[in-house]
A and B are shown apart, each in its own frame.
Chain A
Amino acid sequence: MKRAILFFFAMVVSIGLFGGNGQLWAQTQPWQQIPIPKLPEFHPPQPKRIELPNGMVVFLQEDHELPTIDGTARIRGGERSVAANKTGLIDIYREVWRTGGTKSQTGDQLDDYLEQRAAKVETGGGMDSTTLSWSCLKEDFDDVFRVFVDVLRNPEFRPEKIGIAQKGVYDSISRRNDDPSQLAGREAAKLVYGAKNPYARVVEYRTVAAITRQDLVEWHGKYVHPNNIILGVVGDFDSARMEARLREAFAAWPKGSAVSDPEIKPEPAKPGFYQVDKTDVNQSNIQMVALGITRKNPDYYAVSVFNEAFGGGFSSRLFGDIRTTKGLAYGVGGGVGASWDHPGMLRLMVSTKSKTTIESIQALDEEIADLPKRPINDEEIKRAKDSILNSFVFQFDSPAKVLQEKMAYEFHGYPLDFLENFQKGIEKVTKEDVARVAAKYIHREQMAVLVVGNTAEFDKPLSSLGAVNKLDITIPAAAPGLMLEQGEHP
């Protein structure tokens, strides 16, 4: 729980979490008479790309607005490369890499040193990579960069910090069924990729308990090599001097062996209905899911326009029909998800009171069934494309955003002009393209329908729609000796 969550309570926003079918106005609406001048030419600063002799790729992006310098190293390899019996390794690694300190300094000493300078050196990690980043005032750059390099090269993974990290993960395991939307997201991913698939598998007490210091040391040794790192730096510096500084810092670091990403095959669950009974809620979380696409798919542009028009925001059909017209939901939306290097999730979701659960599933069904009969029309296409294209400038309205984009393309082996091509791709999308991708990807009979809710309160039993698979969300007990209290794992 973060401080922010407490503020949630005191604060309520207008637009729901996820996420039209009007008609064109006559050209006489007052707002349409307001002139819109041409947007001034804008060429955002591009980062300088350097490849060091040891294979490290560096991007330098000057930004002199504030007296700060920030950097992030992204390192190939993440949770999807972890053995199943150690699931959660990256959760532990990404914390202890930093809190465990370096050979010469404990993590606590680093905390004190950095916080006196209001600086950060922090580690992170996810499915495909881990990160080490710093942020500091420019006057502290030398002090902070030294710590950054020390953590990068000489982490110690002190055992007492491994224990703390494990306890933190045990805590999140114990709480994972408390929030219904989080629960629904987790179970939906299992239905799309398979419960044992790295993109969906769940951390358990026993897999975390099995993680040792040796695992962390081995992971670091295997993955943290210069030729496996992309480093991006943004802030108030001179690129030539920064380049010299980085070359000097990393000159003596030899190349390591290359690592490869694992082959991962999704094993989607059979289409049909899946139910989790949760007796302490009065709202159902409904998700219809299937495999999505990658961004490399040539359909990506048409899919992006479809998503925007069908379930993407205020203007979308799902928002207009299910929220505005029917008043069934606060949160409704979805689309065909696109990930960088593996199929994303196709997901349509709605959350509604228990008593309109079946009604809302049928409302989504109707929207899907309607697509061939009432394809996304010219006005919807125009609005979706306008929305993407007119807001395009926000993709690169700060040097840091441009840097992040380029680093992502580099990491995933996409062309560095992917963003420019995206704009052209969207411009070319036609109504026929959108109808084609809708027909290609949106098949209700191929989706798994997950309902997390208070089944006794439903308007009708879910079984009135078809056979229901009940999902068991019981949290497997901890191994003996872990001192977890009985009865706290529903």
Chain B
Amino acid sequence: MKFRLTSLQTLVVCFVLCSIALGQDLASFEKRTTVKKLANGLTIIICERPEAPVFSFFTHVDVGSVQDPMGKTGLAHMFEHMAFKGTDTIGTRDYAGEKVALAKVEEVYAAYLAERDKPVDRDEQKLKQLEQNWKDAIAAADKFSAPYNNEFGKIVEGEGGENMNAFTSLDETAYFYSFPINRLELWAYLESERFLHPVLRQFYKERNVVIEERRMRVDSDPQGRLFEQFTEEAFAAHPYHRPTIGWISDLNSFSATDAQAFFDKYYVPSNMVVTVVGDLKASEAMPIIDRYFSRIPARPKPDTATTGEPPQNSERTVVLHEQSQPLYIEGYHRPDYRDADDQVYDAITDLMSNGRTSRLYRALVRDKQIASDAEGFSGYPGNKYPQLFAFYASPIPGHKPQEMAGAIHAEIERLKKEDISDEELKMIKTRAKATLIRSLGSNEGLAFALGLYQARYDDWRELFRSVDRIEKVTKADIRRVANRTFTPDNRTVGIIEFAPPPPGTGAAAQGGGQ
């Protein structure tokens, strides 16, 4: 589980904290940070950090599961898995032959789907045959690649790659690992090749892997089940209501052809920011990186318009009856990350949630002693589009989710009615600076932060500049934003209520298994 924790925590840290930053360090970063937009539209950032002979990179692609087509949720994430499957030269014994075999798989899969999804007159006998044809075609295609399973990853690991992974969120997709510095050119080749000649081989087996991932994260995890239902309830129109992992019926339907079309549309150079941080000099490294990544042909920037979420005008609640312990979560709609009050929300997050001085800890854990943990924060389930400011609390044994609601609302009322103290405001600002400083001390963290800010604001400097904005946050801002945001009609609530398992049954499974 380590892989995902690491990438995840980095991301959380960044969303929540990097937008509050330290101005005076900008000068030093100006000197060692170089940005180049290639002719094809792809952005390269190099940040020199000569602490040890290694480097980390972060490839940010400005496409997430928000762009999943209707009926094909989970496709952005599925493509991310496929980006580890190699190219026309990596992972095959004979690409010319494999290409034909893969095309055949798509053809028979389409025939199978057409029969499977017939509303009437489905021929079960025929369906069975079509399914067999599909499996046979897969077996034939696998003959070209099976001896070279995971060749792309094997090359990276064998060459000393560290923490190779990727993630997909509603907002974006990202790929990353670290290498010893003498593999810079090898990396530039591998990473550009990956998006120049991807081959979506072994697609349907990997789809099963992804379905297992869904079972692990959602179907077999009560918290996962709660978050899925809660998020779906909170967003009626905007694609934020989708699970990144995808709905099971979509996972059982979409094809490699769909994934290829998704790639062709969204993995265009102008949608990509590649950030490299470590023991390298821009003057030497940029020409190498330029040479390899310039091979990716320019393509038009895709239309990414989405349905806007209309104002919520009624409180919504989902209650899950589970044989697990209770949980409480609630969320309020707020604008996207470009909102003028973005840093006010950051300040509220810090005030409510950061450590044992936070208001929610002190009220729910220390004083009322009804929860083991309670926090409130922006950026759920993403931050690129209008999103939620969410609160959660875990009731300790003997206490109900409804008590969590009462205690959280009391703290929200305080926020609306009383100014926060001078000490609190100062603490928020001091912590923001310190947190930024600490985030600058690793190649991985820097590559992530610089790349993300470049992608979001088209300027990595925003990472530092936003400190000015948090410095300017006032007590009145906090009251104003709290009053505007935290209203009952703007609220969605998610609850797990404990319900004992049905006696004598073994069939209480939830979620969307096959």
- Identify the A interface with B (CB < 8 A): 1-17, 20-23, 29-31, 34-40, 42, 44, 65-68, 99, 107-108, 111-112, 115-119, 135, 137, 163-164, 167-168, 170-172, 174-175, 177-181, 277, 279-283, 313-315, 319-320, 323-331, 351-355, 382-383, 386-387, 389-394, 396-398, 454-457, 478, 483-485, 487-488, 490
A240 to chain B, nearest CB (A): 23
Query: Is A280 a contact of B52 with CB atoms below 8 Å?
Result: no
Query: Is A7 a contact of B8 with CB atoms below 8 Å?
Result: yes
Interface centre among A119, A283, A396 (most CB of B within 10 A): A283
Query: Is A327 a contact of B353 with CB atoms below 8 Å?
Result: no
For residue B434, CB closer than 8 A to chain A, the reply is yes
Which residue of chain B has the shortest Cβ distance to A457 in the bound complex?
B509
Known A-B contacts A21-B149, A170-B396; the reply to A391 vs B160 at CB < 8 A is yes
Q: What are 14 A-B residue pairs whose CB atoms fall within 8 Å in the complex?
A: A1-B373, A8-B4, A10-B381, A12-B217, A22-B150, A108-B356, A112-B357, A167-B396, A171-B372, A279-B509, A314-B157, A320-B149, A328-B212, A454-B506
Query: Is B398 a contact of A484 with CB atoms below 8 Å?
Result: yes
For residue B118, CB closer than 8 A to chain A, the reply is no
Cα–Cα, bound, A164→B372 (Å)? 9
For residue B440, CB closer than 8 A to chain A, the reply is yes
User: Which positions 127-181 of chain B face chain A at CB distance < 8 Å?
Assistant: 142, 146-151, 153-162, 164-170, 178, 180-181
Known A-B contacts A315-B153, A324-B202; the reply to A11 vs B244 at CB < 8 A is yes
Cα–Cα, bound, A6→B398 (Å)? 24
User: Which positions 199-242 of chain B face chain A at CB distance < 8 Å?
Assistant: 202, 204-213, 215-224, 227-228, 231
B84 to chain A, nearest CB (A): 6
Chain B: how many interface residues by the 8 Å CB criterion?
A: 137
Write out, one digit per residue, whether chain B residues 84-127 have a CB within 8 A of any chain A CB (1) or not (0): 10000110000000000000000000000000000000000000
Query: Is A283 a contact of B220 with CB atoms below 8 Å?
Result: yes
Residues of chain B lying within 8 A (CB to CB) of residue A172: 372
For residue B185, CB closer than 8 A to chain A, the reply is yes
Known A-B contacts A3-B377, A279-B507; the reply to A397 vs B500 at CB < 8 A is no
Residues of chain A lying within 8 A (CB to CB) of residue B54: 393-394, 397
For residue B341, CB closer than 8 A to chain A, the reply is no
Interface centre among A314, A353, A485 (most CB of B within 10 A): A314
For residue B312, CB closer than 8 A to chain A, the reply is no
- Identify the B interface with A (CB < 8 A): 1-5, 7-9, 11-12, 16, 51-54, 77, 80-81, 83-84, 89-90, 142, 146-151, 153-162, 164-170, 178, 180-183, 185-186, 189-190, 193, 202, 204-213, 215-224, 227-228, 231, 243-245, 279, 322-325, 327, 329, 353-357, 365-366, 369, 372-373, 375, 377, 380-382, 390, 392, 394, 396-398, 423, 426-427, 430-431, 433-435, 437-438, 440-442, 498, 500-502, 505-511, 513-514
Query: Is B222 a contact of A12 with CB atoms below 8 Å?
Result: no
Cα–Cα, bound, A173→B271 (Å)? 47
Query: Is A14 a contact of B80 with CB atoms below 8 Å?
Result: yes
Query: Is A13 a contact of B167 with CB atoms below 8 Å?
Result: yes
Residues of chain A lying within 8 A (CB to CB) of residue B185: 34-35
Count A-B pairs with CB separation below 8 Å.
Answer: 364
Query: Is A10 a contact of B382 with CB atoms below 8 Å?
Result: yes
Interface residue from B161, B501, B502 paired with A391 (Cβ < 8 Å):
B161
Known A-B contacts A65-B441, A282-B219; the reply to A355 vs B357 at CB < 8 A is no
Query: Is B160 a contact of A314 with CB atoms below 8 Å?
Result: no
Residues of chain A lying within 8 A (CB to CB) of residue B170: 10
Query: Is B8 a contact of A393 with CB atoms below 8 Å?
Result: no
Query: Is B323 a contact of A99 with CB atoms below 8 Å?
Result: no
Query: Is A485 a contact of B215 with CB atoms below 8 Å?
Result: no
Interface residue from A4, A10, A277, A315 paired with B150 (Cβ < 8 Å):
A315
Query: Is B51 a contact of A397 with CB atoms below 8 Å?
Result: yes
Query: Is B212 a contact of A329 with CB atoms below 8 Å?
Result: yes
Query: Is A168 a contact of B396 with CB atoms below 8 Å?
Result: yes
Interface residue from A3, A14, A16, A67 paired with B12 (Cβ < 8 Å):
A3
Cα–Cα, bound, A118→B80 (Å)? 38
Query: Is B325 a contact of A178 with CB atoms below 8 Å?
Result: yes
Residues of chain B lying within 8 A (CB to CB) of residue A107: 356
Interface residue from B279, B396, B507 paired with A457 (Cβ < 8 Å):
B507
A179 to chain B, nearest CB (A): 6
Which residue of chain A has the shortest Cβ distance to B9 in the bound complex?
A4
